[in-house]
Amino acid sequence: FEAIKSSEVLVNAFDRYRPLFFPRTGTPHPSAVNAGLVVDIRDTTAELALGVNENYTLDANIDGTAVITAETVWGALRGLETLSQLIRFNFTTGQYSISGLPLHIEDGPRFPHRGLLIDSGRHFEPIAQVKSLLDSMQYAKLNVLHWHLTEDQSFPIASRSFPELPQKGAYSDQEQYTWREISDVVQYARERGIRVIPEFDMPGHTSAWRNSHPELFAEGCLSAESRGAFDPANPGTFAFLLAALQDWTTDMFTDDFLHLGSDEVPSNCWNNTKDLAWMKSQGLANFSEVFDYFVNHMVSMAKKLGKQTILWDEAFMSAKPPK
């Protein structure tokens, strides 16, 4: 393995792919030749982000050499994956080989966002399972882990600003993620060319938040049997959410995008005396306009935090978020 221009991501990838290229041991045939790989990256500084160049070319030659050329290290990772899937072990000869040499491959993704969603709010996944999933995503050249982290059912993610959120919102004291574990997953994913986009669904799908902060929820849905919704009539709601999101997006989640859900809102929660009076004072005629008010507040908040917002389709069907 040789890199014309090296990077830590590429060096670590070499270590990962050696056993993937050559998982078995055997006695090589006398006619076997030594294999060699050269990786040539033109730009070693390109950040992992939406639209980063992931194109590569792969040349595998009869003399046992292979060359991967890519604009970025993220393209080189895709080339390494393709090469790993071409190499076969022959149990009769004890040799590794690639069929159809010489080969020339020019490859690049059709879609810049190739994602997979996991829902740890409803079904807690241990960190080892999350990392195993990231390995599988790497093999399929997927590049976005959409991590749905909070739900009505549970709140497993650590919060430095409000540690009571997982303490009172997780399924159990063993079904939580520490700050270090989440940060480690983000780095683990980056090493494999995968961005991690967290989702904090709101204003609905938030009942687990209510376990520790019922004062932030609309009075119409405070019982344990009801699905809760954040109360936009309470100025403290937005101050609280700003502090929570700022904490998570400063050191933990570094991607440019943040998913804020905004689907399946139990708007009947706002049908109470306090919120109806507030709606009248704000000139909001119905609950759809309340939803619009909340969504636009949150999108503006994310922008101040340097994040672009992703929302579910209902935010565009029932509200009017900025383009």
Model pLDDT, residue 4: 79
d(C-alpha 50, C-alpha 30), whole Å:
48
Let me know whether 154 and 244 are in one domain.
Answer: yes
Let me know whether 226 and 303 are in one domain.
Answer: yes
The mean pLDDT values, 10 residues at a time, for the chain of 323 residues are 85 95 75 79 96 98 94 98 95 88 97 98 98 98 98 97 98 97 98 98 98 96 95 96 97 96 96 96 96 96 97 92 78
Domain CATH for 132: 3.20.20.80
Let me know whether 90 and 213 are in one domain.
Answer: no
Helix axes 127-139, 73-86, angle to 10 degrees: 80
Let me know whether 138 and 204 are in one domain.
Answer: yes
Range of the domain at 297: 115-317
Is residue 323 situated within a structural domain? no
Model pLDDT, residue 320: 87
Let me know whether 155 and 232 are in one domain.
Answer: yes
Cα of 315 vs its chain's centroid, Å: 20
- Residue 264 among the catalytic residues: yes
Choosing from 88, 107, 126, the residue where a domain stops is 107
Angle at 78 between CA 15 and CA 186, to 5 degrees: 70
Is residue 287 situated within a structural domain? yes
CB-based contact 284:240 (threshold 8 Å): no
Question: How is residue 64 annotated by DSSP?
Answer: S
Model pLDDT, residue 203: 98
Let me know whether 168 and 274 are in one domain.
Answer: yes
Is residue 300 situated within a structural domain? yes
Model pLDDT, residue 68: 97
d(C-alpha 68, C-alpha 88), whole Å:
18
CB-based contact 85:103 (threshold 8 Å): no
For residue 99, with 0-12 CB atoms within 10 Å meaning exposed, 13-18 middle and 19 or more buried, which class applies?
exposed
Question: How is residue 161 annotated by DSSP?
Answer: S
- Count CB neighbours of 56 within 10 A: 27
- To which H or E segment does residue 59 belong? strand 56-60
Let me know whether 103 and 189 are in one domain.
Answer: no
Model pLDDT, residue 95: 85
Q: Give the SS3 label for residue 288.
A: helix
Model pLDDT, residue 32: 59
Q: For the whole model, what pTM was predicted? A: 0.94
Is residue 257 situated within a structural domain? yes
Let me know whether 61 and 94 are in one domain.
Answer: yes
Count of the separate structural domains present in the chain: 2
CB-based contact 96:22 (threshold 8 Å): yes
Query: 71, 164, 264, 289: which one is catalytic?
Result: 264
Q: How far is CA 78 from CA 192, 195, 198, in A?
A: 9, 14, 24
d(C-alpha 55, C-alpha 99), whole Å:
23
Strand partners, 150: none
Q: Give the SS3 label for residue 196.
A: strand
Let me know whether 83 and 13 are in one domain.
Answer: yes
Choosing from 42, 73, 107, the residue where a domain stops is 107
Let me know whether 308 and 291 are in one domain.
Answer: yes
Model pLDDT, residue 29: 59
Model pLDDT, residue 179: 97
Is residue 237 situated within a structural domain? yes
The full length of the chain comes to 323
- To which H or E segment does residue 84 belong? helix 73-86
Choosing from 59, 85, 107, the residue where a domain stops is 107
Let me know whether 13 and 96 are in one domain.
Answer: yes
d(C-alpha 138, C-alpha 133), whole Å:
9
d(C-alpha 212, C-alpha 164), whole Å:
6
Domain CATH for 88: 3.30.379.10
Is residue 216 situated within a structural domain? yes
Let me know whether 103 and 120 are in one domain.
Answer: no
Is residue 322 situated within a structural domain? no
